[in-house]
Amino acid sequence: MPESRVTTWVWGALVVITVGAGWLAPAAHTGHITVASLPITVLVLGLALIKSRLIIRYFMEVRTAPRWLKLTTDAWLAALFGAIMVIYIV
């Protein structure tokens, strides 16, 4: 697949995930009293993690970058989303 086609597929995935996640947002359901929801938050954070990694790997071209950069960006994602999840749950 030519590079531009891959990039466009990534863009498509990002848009779909974004619109889908928007539907899950508390503000999208007016009239309901907002309640915390562990499953929805886990899903939302998981989707954000996927989007982030897609941007890093494909748009920022880390996929073809030296190994130190791959490891560093993955470590950043793991540390950040890990911390967010832990703080949310605890």
| Binding of other proteins by 80 (CB under 8 A) | yes
Among candidate residues 70, 51, 43, 44, the one with its CA nearest the CA of residue 11? 51
Decide: 46 and 57 in contact? Cβ < 8 Å.
no
Q: Which of 1, 4, 71, 74 binds other proteins (CB under 8 A)?
A: 4
Site for other proteins in 19-58 (CB under 8 A): 19, 21-22, 24-28, 30, 34-37, 40-41, 44-45, 47-48, 51-52, 55-56, 58
Question: What Å distances lie between residue 16 and 9, 23, 34, 71, 89, CA to CA?
Answer: 11, 11, 24, 27, 27
At 33, give phi and psi (nearest 5°).
Answer: -75, 125
Give residues in contact with other proteins (CB under 8 A). Answer: 3-4, 7-8, 10-11, 14-15, 18-19, 21-22, 24-28, 30, 34-37, 40-41, 44-45, 47-48, 51-52, 55-56, 58-61, 64-67, 69-70, 72-73, 76, 79-80, 83-84, 87-88, 90
